[in-house]
Structure 1
Amino acid sequence: MGQKHKRYMVVDLETTGNQANRSDRMIQFAAVLVENNQIIQTYSSFVNPNRPIPAFIKELTGITEEDVRNAPEFQDIAPVINSLLEDTIFVAHNVNFDWTFLQKEMERAEIEIASVHKLDTVELARILYPGVDSYKLQDLSDEFGLTHNDPHKADSDALVTAELLIQLLHKLESLPLAVIQKMSSISQSLKSYLPSLIFEIEMRKGRKVETLPAHLLEYRGLVIQRKSIEKPSYSHFSAHVFPKTNQAKMKLFGKANAPLYVRNGQFEMMDLVHQAMESKSHALIEAGTGIGKSLGYFLPALYFAKGERLPVIISTYTNLLQSQLFQKDVKLVEQLTDLPVVATLLKGRDHYLNLFKFEQLLYEVDTQYDVVVTKLKLLVWLMETKTGDIDEVNLSSGGKLFWNRMKHTGWFLPEDKDPWLDYDFYKFNVEQAKHADLVIVNHALLLQDHFTKKSRLPEYSYAVIDEAHHFADSVRDQWSFSLTYRKMKYFLNQLGSLEKYSLLSRLEMIFEGESSLFDLNIAAFKLGSAIDAFFTELKTLLYNKNKQQVEVTLTDDLFYTAENLVTLLFEVVKNMTALLEKGKQKSRSFSEQEIAFIEETYSFLLDWEHMAAGLKQMINQHQAFSIVILECDKNYSLSSLKITNMSGGIENKLADHFFDTKDSVVMTSATLTVKDSFDYIKKKLGLNRLADRLIEAKIASPFKYAKHAKILIPNDMSPIKSTPLLTYTEQLANYLSHIAVKTSGRMLVLFTASEMLDETFKILKSNPVLAEFVILAQGRSSGSTDRLTRQFQLFDKAILLGTTSFWEGIDIPGEALSCLVIVRLPFAPLDDPYTKAQIELLKSQGENAFQNYSLPEAILRFKQGFGRLIRRETDRGLIFIFDNRIDTTHFGKAFLSSIPDVPIIKANQSQLLDETAEFFKGDQD
Structure 2
Amino acid sequence: MAMRFVIIDLETTGNGPKKGDRIIQLGMAVVEDGSIVERFASFFNPEQPIPLFIQQLTNIDEETVEGAPLFADKAAEIAAMMDGAYFVAHNVDFDLPFLQAELERAGRPPFAGPTIDTVELARIVLPTAESYKLGDLAKQLGLRHDRPHQADSDAEVTAKLFIALLRRLSRLPLVTLEQLRRLARHLKSDIYSLLDVVIAKKQKEAPTDNTVALYRGIALKKPGGGKPEQDNGEERPASVSFAAFYEQAPPLPLPGYKRREGQWEMMQLIYEALSTSQHALIEAGTGLGKSLAYFIPAAFFACERQERVVISTHTLQLQEQLIRRDWPVLRQVVPAPLRVAVLKGKQNYLSLDKFASFLPEPNDTYDAALLKCQLLVWLLETDSGDLDELNVSSGARLSLSALAIGEEEDGGRHHFFAQAKRRAEQADLVITNHAFLLHDLTASTPLLPPFRYLVIDEAHRLEEIAARYFGERIDYVSFRLSTAKMAQTITKWLEAEQGETRDVLARCQRRLEGLQFEGDELFRLLRRYALRKKPARAGRCRCRFSPADEHGRTWQAAVELCWRLRDLTAALLGEAKPLLASAATDDGTPSASLAADLVALNRQMDVLVRLLTEAEPGTVRWIEADEKGAANAVRLYSQPVDLADFFAERLFMKKRSVILTSATLAVRGRFAYMAARLGLDDFYPLCRSFPAPFRYEEQAALFVPTDLPLVSAVPLEAYAEAAAAAVLSIARRVGRRTLVLFPSYELLKMTAEALKTEEADEPFVLIAQGIQSGSPAKLLRTFLQFDHAVLFGTSGFWEGIDLPDSALDALIIARLPFAPPDDPVMEAKSERIRAAGGDPFYELSLPEAVLRFKQGFGRLIRTERDKGAVFVLDRRLTAASYGTDFLASLPPLSVYEGALSELLDKASDWLL
Give, in whole Å, the separation in 2 of the partners of 1:394 and 1:511: 45
Name the counterpart of 2:147.
150
How far 1:646 sits from its partner (Å)?
2.0
Q: Aligned in 2, Cα 1:686/1:27: closer, same or farther, shift over 3 Å?
A: same
Deviation at 1:149, TM superposition (A): 3.2
The answer to whether the Cα contact below 8 Å between 1:580 and 1:598 also exists between their aligned partners in 2 is: no
CA contact (8 A) 1:550 1:832 kept: no
Match of 1:629 among 622, 625, 638: 622
Per-residue deviation, residues 7-26 of structure 1 (Å, max 9, x unmatched):
11112233344444453333
- Report if aligned partners of 2:721, 2:755 keep a CA contact under 8 Å in 1: no
Q: 2 CA distance for matches of 1:819 and 1:320?
A: 25
**1:531 is aligned with what amino acid?**
G
**1:530 equivalent in alignment to 2:518:** yes
Report the TM-score when normalising by structure 1: 0.91
Which of 647, 672, 681 is 2:674 aligned to? 681
Alpha-carbon offset, residue 835 of structure 1: 1.3
Shift, 1:770, TM fit? 6.6
* Partner Cα separation in structure 2 for residue 343 and residue 884 of structure 1: 49
One of 26, 35, 42 as aligned partner of 1:45: 42
Alpha-carbon distance, 1:104 to partner: 3.5
1 CA distance for matches of 2:742 and 2:179? 50
Q: 1:308 is matched with which residue?
A: 305
Q: Which residue identity does 2:607 align to in structure 1?
A: G
Cα distance per residue 1:187-242 (max 9 Å; x no partner): 234353201111111111101103115x4434443322221132699999997454
CA distance in 2, matches of 1:397, 1:586: 30
Q: What's the offset of the Cα at 1:626?
A: 1.8
Deviation (angstroms), 1:342 = 1.5
Equivalence for 1:125: 122
Partner of 1:283: 280
Output one character per residue of 1:21-53: Cα deviation in whole Å (capped at 9) or x when no partner: 453333333321111111111123333443444
Q: Describe the SS at the equivalent of 1:706.
A: helix
Q: Conserved in 2, the CA contact under 8 Å of 1:747 and 1:800?
A: yes
Quote the residue 1:555 is aligned against. 551
SS at match of 1:496: helix
Give the aligned residue type for 1:368.
T
**Where does structure 1 lack aligned partners over 5 or more consecutive residues?**
none
Shift of 1:624: 1.3
Shift of 1:852: 1.0
The aligned residue for residue 477 of structure 2 is: 486
Match of 2:421 among 430, 439, 449: 430
Letter in 2 for 1:834: V
Is 1:661 the counterpart of 2:654? The answer is yes
Shift of 1:296: 1.3
1:83: which partner in 2? 80
Using a 3 Å threshold, how does the CA distance of structure 1 residues 324 and 366 change in structure 2: closer, same or farther?
A: farther
1:531-575 Cα shifts (integer Å, max 9, x gaps) = 222222222234333212221344354254245335525643674
The equivalent residue for 2:910 is 919
TM-superposed deviation, 1:667: 0.8
**Alignment correspondent of 2:604:** 611
Aligned with residue 501 of structure 2, among 512, 519, 524: 512
> 1:489, CA displacement in angstroms?
1.6
CA distance in 2, matches of 1:435, 1:212: 30
Aligned to 1:540: 528
Residue 443 (str. 1) matches residue 440 (str. 2): no
Displacement of 1:598: 4.2
Matched with 1:170 is: 167
> CA, structure 1 residues 587+827, in 2 after alignment: closer, same or farther (shift >3 Å)?
closer
Q: Which residue of 1 aligns with 2:713?
A: 722
The TM-score with structure 2 as length reference comes to 0.92
1:198-597 alignment runs, 5 A limit: 198-212=195-209, 215-226=211-222, 227-230=224-227, 240-244=239-243, 248-251=247-250, 253-254=251-252, 256=253, 258-409=255-406, 424-496=415-487, 500-501=491-492, 505=494, 512-513=501-502, 515=504, 517-518=505-506, 520-544=508-532, 545-547=534-536, 548=540, 549-553=542-546, 554-555=550-551, 557-565=554-562, 567-569=564-566, 571-572=568-569, 575-576=572-573, 579=576, 583-584=580-581, 593-594=588-589, 597=590
Residues 497, 524 of structure 1: 8 Å contact kept: no
Which of 760-769 and 656-665 deviates more? 760-769
Cα contact 1:90–1:117 (8 A) shared by 2 = yes
Rounded to whole Å, the distance in 2 between the matches of 1:49 and 1:377 is 40
Q: Distance in 1 between matches of 2:406 and 2:101?
A: 50
Q: Distance between the aligned counterparts of 2:628 and 2:583, measured in 1?
A: 50
Q: Equivalents in 1 of 2:381, 2:498: separation in Å?
A: 37
Using the alignment, how far apart are the partners of 2:703 and 2:551 within structure 1? 51
Shift of 1:761: 2.3
Structure 2 CA distance for partners of 1:150 and 1:369, relative to 1, 3 Å: same
Cα gap change, 1:18/1:716 in structure 2, threshold over 3 Å: closer, same or farther? closer
* 8 A Cα contact 1:14 1:26, kept in partner: yes
- Hey, what's the Cα distance between the residues in 2 that align with 1:345 and 1:395? 22
Change beyond 3 A, Cα 1:65–1:356: same
Q: Deviations over 1:430-472 (max 9, x none)?
A: 1211111111111111102211334211111111111111111
Shift of 1:804: 1.4
Matched, 1:704 2:695: yes
Greater Cα offset, 381-390 or 831-840: 831-840
C-alpha spacing 1:813/1:51, structure 2 compared with 1 (3 Å)? closer
Residues 889-900 of structure 1 mapped to structure 2, 5 A cutoff: 889-900=880-891
- Residue 883 (structure 1) aligned with residue 881 (structure 2): no
Per-residue deviation at 1:125? 0.7
SS at match of 1:646: strand
Single out whichever of 803-812 and 737-746 deviates more from structure 2: 737-746
Q: Is the 8 A contact 1:237 1:306 kept in 2?
A: no
For the 8 Å contact 2:310–2:451, the answer to whether it is kept is yes
In 2 relative to 1, CA 895–16 (structure 1 residues): closer, same or farther, beyond 3 Å? Answer: closer
Supply the distance in 2 between the matched residues of 1:30 and 1:511 (Cα, whole angstroms). 66
Whole-angstrom CA distance in 2 between matches of 1:274 and 1:878: 37
In the alignment, what sits opposite 2:728?
737
Counterpart for residue 851 of structure 2: 860
| Larger displacement relative to structure 2 (102-111 or 198-207) | 102-111
Corresponding letter in the other structure for 2:535: N
1:758-802 Cα offsets, whole Å, 9 max, x none, are 232234444459732122221122321122223333332222221
- Report if the CA contact (8 A) 2:7-2:155 is conserved: yes
Q: Distance in 2 between matches of 1:800 and 1:114?
A: 39
Q: How far apart, in 1, do the equivalents of 2:321 and 2:704 lie?
A: 36
Matches for 1:743-892 after TM superposition, within 5 Å: 743-767=734-758, 771-892=762-883
Distance (Å, rounded) in 1 between the aligned partners of 2:496 and 2:881: 67
Letter in 2 for 1:277: L
Residue 352 of structure 1: how far off its partner (Å): 0.8
SS of residue matched to 2:88: strand
Contact 1:32/1:162, CA 8 A, preserved across alignment? yes
Change (3 A) 1:162 1:238: closer
Query: Counterparts of 2:439 and 2:743 in 1: how far apart (Å)?
Result: 31
Segment drifting more, 121-130 vs 402-411 = 402-411
Return the alpha-carbon distance in structure 1 between the equivalents of residues 238 and 75 of structure 2.
75
User: How far apart in 2 are the matches of 1:43 and 1:172?
Assistant: 27
Q: Which amino acid aligns with 1:651?
A: A
In the alignment, structure 1 residue 11 sits paired with structure 2 residue 8? yes
CA contact (8 A) 1:406 1:600 kept: no
Aligned-partner Cα distance in 1 for 2:335–2:428: 14
Counterpart residue number, 1:107: 104
Matching residue's letter, 2:606: A
Shift in Å, 1:602:
4.3
| Match of residue 188 from structure 1 | 185
CA distance in 2, matches of 1:898, 1:757: 25
Larger deviation: 429-438 or 553-562? 553-562
1:473 partner letter: E
The alignment-based identity, stated in percent, is 35
